[in-house]
Amino acid sequence: MRYALLSVWDKEGLVPLAGALVGHGYRLISSGGTGKALADAGIPFVEVSAHTGSPEMMGGRVKTLHPRIHGGLLGRRGIDDRVMAEQGIEPIDLVVVNLYPFEAMRDQGLSLPDLVEYIDIGGPAMIRAAAKNYRDVGVVVDPAQYPLVIAALERGGLSEDERLSLARAAFARTAAYDAAISNHLHALDGGLPAVYTRQWTNGRPLRYGENPHQQAAVYGDRGVAGAVPLQGREMSYNNYLDLDAAVRLVAEFEECAAVIVKHNNPCGAAVGPTPAEAYVTAREVDPVSAYGGVVALNRPVDADVAREVASTFVEVIGAPGFSDEALNLLAKKTNLRVIRTGPPLVGDEVRTIDGGLLVQRTPPTPEGWRVVTRRPPTAAEEAALRFGLRVAAHTKSNAIVFANERQTLGIGAGQMSRVDAARIAIEKARQPLVGSGVASDAFLPFPDTLEVAAEAGATALVQPGGSIRDDEVIAAADRLGVAMVFTGVRHFRH
């Protein structure tokens, strides 16, 4: 007689699986809500308490923690048979367990005394025991795995490779479960936890990393990390980085907007009445840099956009959707990766450093705009400043961005000197900067950046403020007739 133990919180697909097991000669062991679901479906099973000879205790906290359960899972066939027979332990060949929904209950904001009741003990113990003994025992932790088990039953049972694959998934699940509990308990006092544990799934190898001699993979099944091209070549490491940067920036705009990213920096951003006009305007900011870039829009791509994108070389285009006509037009560019995107997912930012990690969490931070010069910006200047600051916040530091109300005009990125960033932005500009607004991601330590910007034609500037020389910079702005705003919020991006 073969035994299968079923104990699941999520009852999806339980009855068909149980029916298939019984139909192939398995005797089922179950209890609680799982047993009730089986009984309601007319499927025979043995209560855990009847199998162990011990009653459930402590409100169900203790029921499967018994030698007749764990001995049946851990007993090695051909090695422990004598001991099992002496102790009256029947081998259990399959365990189907999914866990108390700790993560879901945590997200509902339960108090700690209530939440601890959703910390599963018996479930993880059975999963780990079965996974350790995968040569003899199959372990199933997700209803999505049920079809594999049913198919295996039809051909005589799970192969050793299938049991090993299921064991990998089982250990990954218990690791993620423990991580969720650990992270929550370590963060009870607020802020980031002292011990930080994360798990990423859906790992896929990439052809190489930033350069051909580097190995790389991408992990994740949501957002940019889970994006799969609707057409085109497979995504590269750099494609993922640039698409992430582009999606995060374009999400800053409520208006119809397009951005183009190259080497993780925006080289053009614009809003427009249509997606096509926004894209063309963004491309014309710096068409040389835009060549071979990554494009993101916050509106669906229609045929007009597709024609423009297909007229030049673009590595990736991401948007919330694509019309059929647009897809047909883009299909002519066989290497172009076409990605359906959504809004960026809110979560911690994690970066590796030598020997560890840096973790960053960004709360909603409203800008505290404060005019510090005698002249306030005009409505048009303020709109230009707000546009430029949104782009500067997504540009590598030091960053200086010239803009008008609807597009960037010049972007200076990733410079050690802020005044050099301003000069590069001016050099990049393809149209006059007279009347433009300038955004700086951090405070101006000296008046020189403002003076260079004013000489180029800028009439307004936004920066966080906070330098020991703020008074000097404000005096220079008043002398040059530049309206200046302090926000109080820095936007370094390293």
3-state SS, residue 292:
coil
DSSP one-letter code for 322: B
Helix spans in 265-410 (H)? 275-285, 287-290, 303-310, 324-330, 379-392
**263 catalytically annotated:** yes
From 11, 184, 186, 263, active-site residue = 263
d(Cα 455, Cα 450) in Å, to the nearest integer? 8
Tokens for 19? 């029916």
User: What does the DSSP assignment read for 133-195?
Assistant: TTTT-EEE--GGGHHHHHHHHHTTS--HHHHHHHHHHHHHHHHHHHHHHHHHHHTTTSSS-SS
Angle between helices 14-23 and 146-154 (to 10 degrees): 20
The CA-to-CA distance between both ends of the chain, in Å, stands at 62
Strand partners for 462 = 439, 485
Tokens for 49? 């308490």
d(Cα 231, Cα 252) in Å, to the nearest integer? 27
d(Cα 377, Cα 371) in Å, to the nearest integer? 8
**132 catalytically annotated:** yes
Helix spans in 342-407 (H)? 379-392
Report the candidate in 263, 256, 244 with the shortest Cα–Cα distance to residue 411: 263
Helix spans in 3-66 (H)? 14-23, 32-40, 48-52
Neighbours of 31 (CB within 10 A): 23
Q: Which residue has the tokens 């972007």?
A: 411
Amino acid at 392: A
Amino acid at 389: L
Report the candidate in 218, 138, 205, 147 with the shortest Cα–Cα distance to residue 170: 138
3-state SS, residue 430:
coil
From 11, 132, 184, 186, active-site residue = 132
d(Cα 340, Cα 316) in Å, to the nearest integer? 11
Q: 421-444 b/e with 16+ CB inside 10 Å = b? A: bbbbbbebbeeebeebbbbbbbbb
Amino acid at 279: Y
Strand partners for 339 = 318
3-state SS, residue 460:
strand
Catalytic center residues: 132, 263
